[in-house]
Structure 1
Amino acid sequence: MIRTCANILFGLALMAVSVPVSANETGSSRVMLSVQEQKNWQAIGRLNVTGIGYCTATAIGPDLILTAAHCVVDKRTGNSVRPDRVHFLAGFRAGTFAAHGQGREIVLMQGYNRSMRTVDRDIAFIRLAAPLPATITPISTGRGVQPELSLHTLSYGLDRAQIPSIERDCRLQSRIGAVIYTSCDGVPGVSGAPVIQMVDGKPVVVAVASAVMARQKAPMLHGTVLAVDAAEHRLEILFRQFEGTDVSMPDPVRDGS
């Protein structure tokens, strides 16, 4: 079991109310996507959880959403929230969105425990009540983080909660088991966000943002992203927990190695 150290402020990503902090104040290297750029990333959206807050999440299949487990766990009970309280807004931007999906079923990685801060298991799937429209192209998964490739993140940070931001070309710093230490910029709201690598010119989700390694606490928590490995073999373990699953896990991207 891997636990976060004391300077990781775990779960702050569920704060749903924006505060007036500018990009310059946080020193963020994330850049807001233009309207045109966002059309290429419609599978990434805001995950709104009624009564709790929001995170970032990614459609990796027509009805399959990948996010961080703590985003869909009630911290008072330690149990996952009712699926119908979860709403995925694909391509969310300033109150508009390309598609809406409501949760039907939630599964957490086996052994995840929010109170114990088991970051290495902080991933979850949400099965939607109905598939997203064909206009939303899911992002593929693959074999996990490849150290030689740069990382990219797309997220709804609390400093820009209404418009997605992208950070290109951050790096893998180190890893301990399934826990990925990155140089990627992090603030509350990035939890659940995809960590992406380009494999043969295609975006592939390789990890999921879990927490922020804080280097600044005011005026807003700010630091680097701690992520969880989302390699295909781990996602298959997660996928098998769905009850009565009648479809297969989406095929991962192969890099020819």
Structure 2
Amino acid sequence: MRRAAALALALAALFAAQGVRAQGQAVLDVMDNRGAMLGWEAVGRLDTPGGFCTGALIARDLVLTAAHCVYDRASAAPIPAGRILFRAGYHRGTQIAAREVSAWVVPPNYRPAPGGYQSGPAIASDVALLKLSSPIFSSEADPFIIHENPPEGSTVSVVSYGRGREEVLSRERDCAVVERYRNGELAFDCDVTFGSSGAPVFIRDNGRLRILAVMSAIRQDERGRTTVAFGPGVAGVVPALAARLRKDDSRATPGTGARRVGVGGERRAGGARFVRP
């Protein structure tokens, strides 16, 4: 597989429109009742002013998502933590638990570009860790564990919200890692959609699902079909982000080297179209 062209559009922090995989129509499990969500309560909708992303609990008070989700789409300004709401197990207007965000951090080497376009290195560090205003008890939602990067070709699944199904959680059970890059970026044949930004990519390890990556961007062909999805592996990033949050919440805001990421329209390059899911 050839490396994606220099610029790729970030996954939108907003809304989802179901895509079609080049290999065929993706099969989604739509969790349209509370019973179907059993075991997935730690995945939630991350509501921001004017839009939403998907996030997942990795500790009682920590949520993992994409870095571009914590920046305003239009102005490119960082979103104040208190204006972000995590709704664990969100389903048709209700949730298992809701918490405001008290602080967030992104990697120091994250370099977003205005207008929503991102380089490969930006996608590789498109990770954010959010600290909640108060913990969510494990009896409400059991946090997921981070997994190390698997060998190429490993089967993964994606759980997210999206436009047209933003009120319910959906899961694509069977997609795969198709490429790994030296900078930590992974490529998937998963069918992700607008609103899937920050969605956890799961891999099964000894019968348990663990988070391998978060969704960041997609590439489409000339007919608007999703051909490849991209996201950063999180195993090497999360511990440092968690340490920053635990050390001093007052520093858990964008600082030196943690610039904003914009989201915008689309750009054509090399015959492929890069769009924000």
Residues 88 and 101, structure 1, Cα contact 8 Å, conserved in 2: yes
* Larger RCO, structures 1/2 (Cα 8 Å, 6+ apart): 2
- For the 8 Å contact 1:69–1:108, the answer to whether it is kept is yes
What secondary structure does 2:190 align onto? strand
Q: Distance in 2 between matches of 1:122 and 1:237?
A: 14
Task: Determine what percentage of the aligned residue pairs are the same residue.
Answer: 27
Asked if structure 1 preserves the Cα contact closer than 8 Å seen for 2:152 and 2:180, the reply is no
Aligned-residue offset at 1:169: 2.0
Deviation at 1:216, TM superposition (A): 6.3
1:122 equivalent in structure 2: 126
Which of 201, 204, 218 is the aligned partner of 1:195? Answer: 201
Alignment correspondent of 1:182:
188
1:251: which partner in 2?
Answer: none
Check the 8 A contact 1:22/1:159 in 2, yes or no. Answer: no
Could you say if the C-alpha distance between residues 222 and 187 of structure 1 is closer, same or farther in structure 2, counting changes exceeding 3 Å? farther
Which residue does 1:144 correspond to in 2?
A: 149
User: Partner residue of 1:240?
Assistant: 243
Aligned to 1:69: 67
Please give the alpha-carbon distance, in whole angstroms, between the structure 2 residues aligned to 1:22 and 1:73: 24
Would you say the 8 A contact 2:123–2:216 is kept in 1? yes
Aligned equivalent of 2:252? none
Deviations 1:53-85 (A, max 9, x none): 101000000000000000011245544311001
Q: Normalising to structure 1: TM-score of the pair?
A: 0.82
Deviations 1:184-210 (A, max 9, x none): 111111110000001111110010100
Rate the CA distance shift 1:131–1:210 in 2: closer, same or farther, 3 A.
same
Amino acid corresponding to residue 134 of structure 2 in structure 1:
A
> Where in structure 2 are there 5+ consecutive unaligned residues?
250-277
Contiguous gaps of at least 5 residues in structure 1: 247-257
1:15 aligns with 14
Aligned length, in residue pairs: 236
Q: TM-score when scaled to structure 2? A: 0.76
Q: Do 1:80 and 1:106's aligned partners in 2 also have CA atoms closer than 8 Å?
A: no
**What amino acid is the match of 1:184?**
C
Task: Name 1:213's counterpart in structure 2.
Answer: 219
Instruction: Give the conservation status (yes or no) of the 8 Å contact 1:172–1:180.
Output: yes
| Equivalent position amino acid for 1:47 in 2 | L
1:5 corresponds to: 5
Deviating above 6 A after TM superposition, structure 1's stretches of 4 or more consecutive aligned residues are none
RMSD: 2.7
**How far has the Cα of 1:182 moved from its partner?**
0.4
* TM-aligned CA deviation for residue 22 of structure 1: 9.7
Q: CA deviation at 1:151?
A: 0.3
Could you tell me how far 1:124 is from its partner in structure 2?
Answer: 0.3
Aligned to 2:28: 30
Q: Are the aligned partners of 1:145 and 1:229 in contact in 2 as well (CA < 8 Å)?
A: no
SS in 1 for 2:112: coil
